[in-house]
Amino acid sequence: MYTNYAYIGENDEDIVDITKPLVVTAAGYNRVVKRRVIATERPNGRGDFQIIYIASGKAHFFLDGEEQIVSRGNIVLFRPWERQMYYYYLEDRVESYWIHFTGYEAEKLLDTADLNKNVFFIGDSSDFPSKCNRIIREIQTKRTNYEELTSILFREIILVISRYLREGRGVNRDTLNEVERAINYFSENYTEDINIEQYAKMRHMSVSWFIRNFKSITKLSPLQYIITLRITNAKALLINTDYPISKISDAVGFDNALYFSRLFHKHTGMSPTKFRKRN
């Protein structure tokens, strides 16, 4: 089994601290490599909270006395003193990230995020692994302000989970994942000449289906979303650089500076030059 763990106290110490709003007490990553089974058995639970993200494969949890197979893309949440019995089997190729947390605002944070069950599906999320790995590194090195930083990172994780759950109500999980994938693609490639029809074809979707579902979740059409990205980044370049308008237009994905200026005025109510002077 490959592991990467981090604790603010002794290994696997059950820390309950209600003097602070939110404290991340431990975090880790597991990948079953050789051992046939990795068992976690805490009949009486722990005094803190724990959240587990199944990043790959599947795991076997016993919840409310019944076995439940939890597959990739799901979150499992344990509250204080809740029975914890779960097993990772070699043949299931499971990878998981986990975080223990405590604090007098922990329960309120979960309630506000509408996390009131044991298992939640959030799909293939890059946010949880990336932020969990950051939390692991912060706790391992214990640099200045690491406790406050880890609590901020954990709040971000909970907010992202909450957003996914709320946006996904009444929406097919595969559809939500497809929109998330498109958002990531557009964010990374907005400076390129993105053709919506070609993108939909590449993802084996009908154009009308893709546009309709993208807009139902983001409140913007794919084209509007891309333009918003370009205008937002153009604002930053206008404020923070002395690049000429034509260069900024090209930098954010427009091949026609006049068209860029007209579109910028439509979205902001002023020309790029006036926006730069005002800011």
Structure confidence by residue, pLDDT tens digits, 42-64: 999 999 999 999 999 999 999 98
Hey, what are 255's tokens? 């091949």
The architecture of the domain spanning 2-167 is: Sandwich (2.60)
Residue 170 has pLDDT above 60, yes or no: no
Helix (H) / strand (E) element for 222: namely: helix 222-240
Structure confidence by residue, pLDDT tens digits, 112-148: 998 988 998 887 766 789 899 999 999 999 999 999 9
pTM for the full predicted model: 0.69
Residues 236/275, Cβ–Cβ less than 8 Å: no
Residues 49/101, Cβ–Cβ less than 8 Å: yes
> By C-alpha distance, which of 140, 220, 232, 123 is closest to 178?
123
Task: Decide if 2-167 and 170-279 have a common fold.
Answer: no
Helix/strand/coil percent split, the chain, to 5: 45, 25, 30
Q: Which residues contact 74 (CB under 8 A, 6 or more apart)?
A: 53, 54, 119, 120, 121, 122
- CATH for 170-279 is 1.10.10.60
**Cα–Cα distance, 50 to 52 (Å, whole number):** 7
**Cα–Cα distance, 269 to 279 (Å, whole number):** 14
Domain spans of the chain?
2-167, 170-279
Mean pLDDT along residues 222-229 = 95
**Cα–Cα distance, 220 to 213 (Å, whole number):** 10
pLDDT at 194: 94
